[in-house]
Structure 1
Amino acid sequence: MSYSVGQVSGFAGVSVRTLHHYDKAGLLSPTDRTPAGYRLYSDADLARLQQILFYRELGFSLEEIGAIMADPEANALGHLRERHRLLKEQIAKLNKLVEVAEHALEVRQTGVELTPLERFEVFGEVTFDLSYATDAHLKWGHSEGHRQSMARAAAHTKEDWRQIMAEAAGWRQRLIAAYDADAAPGSDEAMALAEEHRDHISRWFTPCPPQMHCRIADDYVEDARAFALVVPPHEQRTGLAPFLRAAIHANAERDRVQ
């Protein structure tokens, strides 16, 4: 059976101009023509077009497709393996771009109104751990405490954030030192660090009663991204997040019984 160029265009979802181009390139020359000179494609031509479109979808150039189809047994497998490798590389790059785009969206949701340079100057590598902001917004966004925290974060100046991060860094060093020295989570030292952390949240973001502090501490164990906002990954120790959680819960229990 024969098909006109218009029919093939409709079947294959390609333009008539593209079919003419494939003909000129020697990739797909119609088997026959009408007495008036119009192209007529056979079933075999349609099968060849399907192969061409398959390779085009994979990103092969017309020259590469021509080489493959000139000797498909010798060329197809090697070309497909190479294309598979390149596609995996492209997927990895695109996934990275998706992460960057998501990160940019997530950072905006923190409410921190700083320029990109100021963010880098103030937060350093901690900036890269702010992906937790999106899930936190979904989880806590309905609460007054979360809304207040976001509003206060948005109002902080660059110098405020410098002070916040300096306080956090000093506290973090003392936390790690206590953990490395095998302090017990229920010790006065560990609970004092827990109380200092709670006070830091209350002063800079939102009132943080002990029960709320415990819920925050639970997230540190359940979600590595949450703990990374407190202790950057390169400073973390195995067991440090559970240690901090236990200290916060012990501090809350002491507050409850007093």
Structure 2
Amino acid sequence: MTEKQQPLTVGRVAQLVGVSVRTLHHWDSIALVRPSARSWSDYRLYDAEDIARIHRVLVYREIGLPLAEIARILDDPEVDPREHLHRQRSLLAERIGRLQKAARAVDEMIERTTPMNDTPSSAGPISGDPRTPAEDRSITLSPQEQSRIFGTDWDPAWQDEARERWGDTEQWQQSVQRTRGFTAADWTRVAEETAALETDLAEAMNRGVEPGSEEANALAERHRASISQHYDCTASMHVVLGRMYTEDERFTAHYDRRSEGLAAWLREVIEAAARAHGVDPETAGWE
């Protein structure tokens, strides 16, 4: 009997589908994906139908649905597997369309940007807000054009606000330099990675991951690393950004759209991780 026909252990399935064993154990515990059998030594064994369900979960998670909603959809007795595939295909097409629109927007921004020192320039979000591409003085689009390109959530005032607050910092200059050569594909990659990170943060919060735990600290470091693509973000700076997630309603709304309470939970996670680095969140500053 081939591996394709044989039930697979949790470790082999984890390798096959690209998720951790811990994730599969969690999905089993919440009845999202339960293995169809157990070995004589009580190891989980997954058959072809189980693995097909895992792939459906992965697609829905990639789209951004919370696990509870995914479980409800997959367990709907009125929907057969083929209908699930059609639904996923439709949702993926919508996401691809949004990403293509975002890529075209960045392409247009590149084309409409006046070179500075003979080199096109754009800067990443100094604030850590993935929705707010900070800009260099070389962008020549009007506020109305920027709103048209980036959509109704785009507020041109964010650019001036970010520059006024951070423009004289070393981190701002780092951001300008590091993203100067970014292509539309680079910005699309950043957007996809940010969405995946926020989905994982929401999933961890919803299953009760405690700030300060090993998993929460790992997520905090992953969040800090995403910001460090643009500038060197220390643990102390990370705390300052975390404060904004609950003190600025725009940041709160952004994270809480993923899952209610995510902004406050993320701040706690960041502060707990900072303590592990010897940083006191009460006195942390931009340093």
Structure 1 length as normaliser, TM-score?
A: 0.47
Structure with the greater alpha carbon radius of gyration: 1
Structure 2 length as normaliser, TM-score?
A: 0.43
